[in-house]
């Protein structure tokens, strides 16, 4: 007679003794006794708590026996019910190769903007597509390789659980959520990279893996949760300690993924059809994005509009020489273009002294006997001797390129457009 048949012949009192005796009875036997008491409707509140603890311990033990999740070589190729993870990797790598063939370096903000990087003053002023295109751009090989490995790791697991459509929907929603969070927090920083969308997939794991669909996988869920938590924590801490990491996008993508995961969990638990869930998520993201886009400040856009009015009064400055999206020279018709290009070379040197994403606009006028070099510099920097000396050095640097005319240096406040002559 096996133990399960034996306990059926025991009295309630004997079953209670068995359930509490961890010396002579194993956890499985104690659990059998508790299940029998529960069947008879005689289990106490205390014993019910003991039963839950034993079930949890058994579940943990069984989970620990399972292997850790590992990716395989075949995960790099599309399979039945597994398409978008490898395709996303192919697309990201292909775009990166094309950029390299064109000699593009996306670590430079102006180049990143040209290729579709996400920056507030453009994304909120009619170029909303940047919220999407930016998640396919990478600044270098290490940036790309790190993101693609993380995508392969989490995507090869999630896509098989969720299915193709739910997976790609979650990826895009997380990526756009990350982009919106970035432009919400950053005034004039170009954001690129798939990491926000990938963080969303990791965030989606937590509510999903605890469900039946996740538990059916022959992997240790607890180990998976631990490794993912460690990865996310380390990445976010690194984002606070390293200037080149867009933590706003990481956190925004992570939160977007968690929200999507909660909705997906609701869909799996209550057998809700996907369409209402996907529609609800899209509406939430749409409302959130609309609020952010309409409420965030647009200092760069305001400056551009004010600059346009200012230049209309500076009738001589009718020509535009755009160095890149962050550096522009305005000049008059009688200005030799060769001298404008000499100023361009000096501006590239001057840019070293300013934050990498800061605008640097210049008006360069030919006033017959001399040149006027007007620099837009915040008024709070006018009293900084080091700044003034560097600007004077820039004038000397321009002269070394072969400009013989005297150059008058003028500072223009980039808010009030007040002017100040700087004595050489």
Q: What is the pLDDT of residue 289?
A: 92
Running along the chain, 424 residues long, what does each successive block of 10 average in pLDDT? Answer: 77 82 79 82 83 76 67 89 94 94 82 90 91 94 92 91 92 96 88 94 86 59 77 81 83 94 84 86 92 87 78 73 79 85 78 63 84 83 80 80 83 83 78
Please say whether the structural domain 73-295 has been given the CATH code 1.20.1540.10: yes
Query: What distance in Å separates the CA atoms of residue 224 and residue 153, rounded to the nearest whole number?
Result: 11
Q: Where are the domains of the chain?
A: 3-65, 73-295, 300-422
Angle at 354 between CA 245 and CA 119, to 5 degrees: 45
Query: What residue spans of 66-140 are helical by DSSP H?
Result: 84-101, 109-114, 120-123, 130-133
Classify 322 in phi/psi space as left (phi over 0), alpha (psi -120 to 50) or beta. beta
Q: What is the pLDDT of residue 172?
A: 96
Q: What is the pLDDT of residue 358?
A: 65
What's the pTM value of the predicted model, to 2 decimals? 0.75
Contacts of 421 (CB under 8 A, 6+ apart): 408, 409, 410
Using DSSP bridges, classify how beta strands 327-331 and 319-324 pair: parallel, antiparallel or unpaired: antiparallel
Query: What distance in Å separates the CA atoms of residue 288 and residue 306, rounded to the nearest whole number?
Result: 29
Walk across the sheet containing 360-367 and list its strands. Answer: 319-324, 327-331, 360-367, 370-376, 407-412, 419-422
Q: What is the pLDDT of residue 282?
A: 92
Q: What is the pLDDT of residue 218?
A: 64
């Amino acid at each position: 007679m096996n133990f399960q048949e034996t306990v059926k012949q025991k009295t309630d009192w004997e079953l209670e003794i068995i359930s509490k005796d961890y010396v002579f009875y194993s956890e499985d036997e104690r659990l059998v006794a508790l299940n029998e008491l529960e069947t008879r409707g005689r289990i106490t509140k205390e014993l019910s708590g003991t039963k839950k603890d034993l079930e949890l311990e058994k579940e943990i033990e069984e989970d620990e026996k399972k292997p850790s999740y590992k990716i395989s070589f075949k995960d790099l190729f599309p399979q039945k019910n597994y398409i978008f993870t490898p395709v996303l990797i192919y697309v990201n790598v292909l775009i990166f190769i094309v950029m390299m063939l064109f000699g593009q370096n996306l670590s430079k903000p102006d180049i990143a903007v040209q290729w579709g990087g996400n920056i507030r003053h453009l994304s909120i002023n009619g170029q909303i597509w940047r919220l999407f295109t930016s998640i396919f751009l990478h600044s270098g090989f290490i940036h790309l390789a790190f993101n693609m490995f993380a995508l392969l790791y989490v995507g090869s697991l999630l896509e098989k659980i969720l299915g193709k459509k739910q997976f790609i929907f979650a990826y895009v929603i997380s990526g756009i959520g990350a982009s919106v969070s970035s432009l919400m927090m950053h005034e004039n920083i170009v954001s690129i990279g798939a990491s926000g969308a990938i963080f969303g997939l990791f965030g989606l794991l937590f509510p999903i893996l605890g469900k039946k669909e996740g538990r059916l996988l022959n992997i240790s869920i607890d180990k998976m949760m631990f490794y993912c938590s460690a990865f996310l924590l380390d990445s976010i801490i690194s984002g606070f300690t390293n200037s080149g990491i867009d933590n706003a996008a990481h956190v925004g993508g992570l939160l977007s993924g968690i929200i999507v995961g909660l909705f997906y969990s609701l869909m799996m638990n209550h057998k809700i059809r996907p369409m209402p869930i996907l529609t609800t998520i899209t509406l939430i993201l749409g409302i959130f994005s609309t609020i952010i886009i309409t409420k965030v400040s647009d200092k760069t856009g305001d400056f551009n509009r004010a600059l346009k009015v200012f230049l209309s009064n500076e009738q001589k400055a009718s020509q535009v020489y755009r160095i890149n999206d962050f550096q522009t020279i305005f000049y008059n018709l009688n200005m030799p273009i060769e001298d404008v290009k000499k100023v361009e070379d000096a501006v590239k040197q001057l840019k070293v002294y300013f934050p990498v994403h800061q605008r640097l606009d210049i008006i360069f006028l030919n006033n017959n006997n001399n040149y006027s070099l007007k620099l837009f510099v915040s008024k709070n920097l006018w009293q900084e001797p080091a700044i003034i000396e560097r600007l004077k050095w820039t004038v000397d640097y321009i002269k070394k390129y072969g400009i013989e005319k005297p150059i008058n240096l003028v500072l223009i406040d980039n808010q009030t457009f007040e002017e100040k002559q700087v004595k050489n």
